[in-house]
Amino acid sequence: MSKKEWTEQEIFDTAAFGILTQGRRCADSEGSCVYRLPGGLKCAAGFIFSDEEVEGMSDRNSNSVIYERATHLLEYDCLISELQHIHDQVEVARWPEELREMAKREGLSSKVIDDWERENEV
78-103 pLDDT tens trace: 999 999 999 999 999 999 999 999 99
Percent of the chain's residues with pLDDT above 90: 53
Phi, psi of 53 (to 5 degrees): -70, -30
What single-letter DSSP state applies at residue 30?
T
Domain limits at 107?
Answer: 8-116
Q: Confirm whether 121 is domain-assigned.
A: no
Domains in the chain, number: 1
pLDDT at 12 > cutoff 80: yes
Domain assignment present for 112? yes
For residue 122, being part of any structural domain is answered with no
Inside any domain, residue 3: no
The residue among 53, 24, 60, 49 whose CA lies nearest residue 39 is 24
pLDDT tens digit sequence for 29-72: 888 888 888 888 999 988 988 878 777 665 555 566 676 677 77
Q: Quickly state the pLDDT bin for 2 (edges 50, 70, 90).
A: low
Report pTM: 0.88
Task: Examine residue 71 and state whether it is found in any structural domain, yes or no.
Answer: yes
Which has the higher per-residue pLDDT, 105 or 27? 105
- Look at residue 2 and tell me if it is in a domain: no
Flag whether 82 is in a domain: yes
Cite the DSSP H helix spans in 23-62.
51-54
pLDDT computed for residue 72 by the predictor: 78
